[in-house]
Amino acid sequence: LTPIARIALPAAAQADVAFEAFFTHILMHELMHGLGPHDIAVGGRATTVRQELREVSSAIEEAKADISGLFALQYLVDHGVLSKDFERTMYTTFLASAFRSLRFGTTEAHARGIAVQLNYLMDAGAVSVGADGTFSVVPDRVKDAVAGLTRDIMTLQAEGSYAKATDLLARLGRTACGALRGE
């Protein structure tokens, strides 16, 4: 993660990449797989999110676990369970880790899910790109963007909406940067 951070992040932000934030987010990611709907009803019939989202289910689920993991960590910061300093390292470390995951190419579920998140955060102004090509977290916008994407993904899973899931992945589940392209 550190060598990737040296390339992807501005020098001033690299000090905020922290093992504790990386490890804690991974732990929260795994816990968040249990969050949200699994058994649902669509058109009056009992089904599951996985059945309804078919081949895109894994990428959506990985995006949900990542982004809701950040949402949950923010909740813990806001309620004093984790220190306020953790907030800064958590988002910066997550951003550096996004580029680590993208290396696998967007045909892999984790990478495609992280592409959705990174593109969503950039579109929301929560991540910016500097003139030097490095990426930075925009603190005033990141919390709302994380909450918004968490809500959007949880809603499409609860609805079992294959159309919304495939649309989300078509719009945001890819990379435009040649160095990151894995399609």
pLDDT tens for residues 53-78? 999 999 999 999 999 999 999 999 99
Q: Residue 132: which H helix or E strand, with range?
A: none
- Write the CB contacts of 104 (distance below 8 Å, at least 6 apart in sequence): 110, 111, 182
pLDDT at 163 > cutoff 90? yes
What six digits make up the tokens of 33?
Answer: 């797989």
pLDDT at 182 > cutoff 90? no
pTM of the model: 0.91
Tell me which residue has tokens 């969050």.
35
Mean pLDDT over the full length of the chain = 92
On whether the CB atoms of residues 107 and 113 are closer than 8 A, the answer is: no
Question: Nearest 5°: CA angle at 155, between 150 and 157?
Answer: 100
